[in-house]
Amino acid sequence: MFQMLKTIIALLDKGDRIKAGLLLFPMLVAAIVDVIGIAFVMPFIVVVADPDAIQTHKKLLYFYQLSHASSPHRFLIIAGLVLFFVLVMANALGALNNWFMWKFMGKQESKISSRLLEKYLSHPYEFFLNQNTSALMKNIITETEVVSHGIIMYSMQLFTKLFAVVFIVLLLMIVNFKLAVFLSIIMGGVYGIIYAFIRKRLGRISVDMVTSQEARFQLLNESFGGVKEIKFLKLSRFFLNQFTRSTEKYTSSKARLQIISTMPKYILESIAFGGVFLIVIYMLAAQHSAATILPILGIYVFAGYRLLPALQTIFMILSSLKGGFASLDLVRHDLLTSLVINKENSMPSNKLSIQKTLQLNAIRFSYPNATCPIFSNFNFVVQANTTVGLVGTTGAGKTTLVDIILGMLSYQSGALVVDNLVINRDNLPNWQANIGYVPQQIFLLDNTIASNIAFGIEKENIDYAAVERAARIANLHDFIVKELPLQYQTVVGERGVRLSGGQRQRIGIARALYRDPGVLILDEATSSLDGITELAIMDAIHNLSHQKTIIIIAHRLTTLKECDVIYMMEKGKIVDTGKYESLMSANLEFQKMANMR
Ligand SMILES: Nc1ncnc2c1ncn2[C@@H]1O[C@H](COP(=O)(O)OP(=O)(O)OP(=O)(O)O)[C@@H](O)[C@H]1O
Ligand SMILES: [Mg+2]
């Protein structure tokens, strides 16, 4: 419990900690007003039952004189009005607290959610190689909800209810000490026993909920992501069944949590209301008259009306807190304990330009969790403003090499050097700002062509002249202007479903060129294009040669004819190098590759 409190406090930022503390204050006031209301019920009933009591009870007499009432009857009316006012006040305060609390909670949910996404996005690229993004999405969407509503808000409500219970119990003790203690022990005991009994089970439910929810997110992601293959292979039912299974597990866990947390209500209600009769019997047996029984009974019934819901809420909250523990733990872990990495800022405007060479010196790199390194002592040099081709069998390490040059993967040893300047954490963003990169798989936003080419630039800030220039080089401009209904404003659909593979690739090329980078890296950028279109794009790209440093990975070797130099890679090593013609005449493997395609 304490641990949980500490975690919650750690999750809030400084201002919110103070706010949460301030929120507790009106809660305390509301609890006190509430108890005052209850406290005055008894004297009220006493006077209703026996107006002469005013004269016999000292305290009543005091209030009677204070009220300046002309008769006991008038006193009753005044007292009734005061009581009414106090009750209304108590409820109004409660409503106000409720209002503040929900506002506060809404803020917390949005804050934690955004902070979590920010945190995930600030991880290096390697982090995502070992993550299923469905789990991350689930954490951002559902776990933050559990944490903000099910835990932060509940623990604040827990305080309110605890205040209320403590005050009411104190009041009952003042009225009749023995009876109050006796009832507290019984009530507390029953709750304690039930809670001890279900504690472990709640912990398990909590974990079940988190894991089944994760499975649901993943299945949804995969069902829609692979919808084409799924439909073609008639696998809808297969995915549906799995989804149903996880969903059932999730909802039944949730139902169990609800059942467990609300069940004691029924047990306690019978004990409590049964208790009222027991009190009457006890007092009758002790030879009390109805006039003395009635006020005590009144206060108990009224206190019960306040106390029971409070106790039930406390129990419900305690079990929900336990039930949300796994979520809290997860959010805490991801938000607070994982490495603090420098925040991703926007692309810097000062590009690190390359004048002489780009070098990889003695690079050693292995993927996280991989058994053997892809590169060990790998050396590679690219002269500035030349065009370099990279070929090699699949899995040779071409994309990995490019990812290292891009600064996406951090190598275990060695250095990436641009003109004698070692690229490090500080100057990496400037180096990246100078690179245009076309990945093997282009990712498109469900947005307009222009937004996809300018990528990540607000609509009003897009430089349309640059968009068109890039689209022309990518051999895309004519298609956009002649065939698309809204031209550059045509929306491409989720992941570009409304475009052909080749059109998507050309948008990727245009995107890389939009910022007019000094270095251009194409990873299989033309593999989906027909020979004629590819030739046209390669011509356009070779027009840029000797103005830009260009690295081209290609399987189709004719693409590389114009390269200044070609490197052949195999299993993380450069096995041969030369111009297209010399490799053609000297390297058998190269010949085979060239002739195949
Ligand atoms: N995240 C990863 N974790 C572990 N191993 C990986 C990871 N990504 C790639 N690999 C391995 O690294 C090797 C090199 O992969 P890479 O993508 O660089 O090859 P490639 O030359 O680009 O191949 P292709 O021509 O098929 O694109 C492969 O054997 C691959 O299995
Ligand atoms: Mg590759």
Helix (H), strand (E) counts: the chain: 23, 10
- Give the Å distance between the CA of 374 and the centre of ligand 2: 13
Task: For the chain, list the domains and their CATH numbers.
Answer: 2-337 (1.20.1560.10), 384-412+423-596 (3.40.50.300)
**366 touches ligand 1 (CB under 6 Å):** no
pLDDT per position as a tens digit, 449-502? 888 888 877 888 888 888 888 888 887 888 888 887 888 888 877 776 777 777
Give the per-residue pLDDT at 243.
92
Percentage of the chain lying above the pLDDT 90 cut = 4
Residue 151 CA, ligand 2 centroid: distance in Å: 45
Which atom belonging to ligand 1 lies closest to the Cα atom of 398? Answer: 21
**Of 417, 404, 345, which is closest to residue 375 (Cα–Cα)?**
404
**What residue's CA is closest to ligand 1, atom 14?**
397
pLDDT at 245: 93
Angle at 368 between CA 365 and CA 373, to 5 degrees: 35
In this predicted model, what pLDDT tens digit does every residue of 238-247 receive, in sequence order?
889 999 999 9
User: Could you list which residues have their CB under 5 Å from ion ligand 2?
Assistant: 399
443: pLDDT strictly greater than 70: yes
As a whole-number percent, the residues of the chain with pLDDT over 70 amount to 94
Distance CA 323, CA 162 (A): 20
CA of 556 to the centre of ligand 2 (A): 13
Q: What is the C-alpha to C-alpha distance for residues 423 and 415, in angstroms, rounded to an integer?
A: 7
Pocket lining: 400 vs ligand 1, CB cutoff 6 Å: yes
* CB of 399 shorter than 6 A to ligand 1: yes
The arithmetic mean of pLDDT across residues 178-203, rounded, is: 80
Q: Check whether 3 has a pLDDT greater than 80.
A: no
Q: Per-residue pLDDT tens for 255-279? A: 988 888 887 778 777 776 776 777 7
Judge if the beta carbon of residue 367 lies within 6 A of ligand 1: yes
Mean pLDDT, all residues of the chain? 81
Summarised one tens digit per residue, pLDDT across range 346-375 is 777 788 888 888 888 888 888 888 788 888
Helix-, strand-, coil-residue percentages of the chain, each rounded to 5: 70, 10, 20
Instruction: Give the pLDDT of residue 337.
Output: 67
Atom of ligand 1 nearest to the CA of 370: 4
Pairing state of beta strands 387-392 and 375-383?
Answer: unpaired
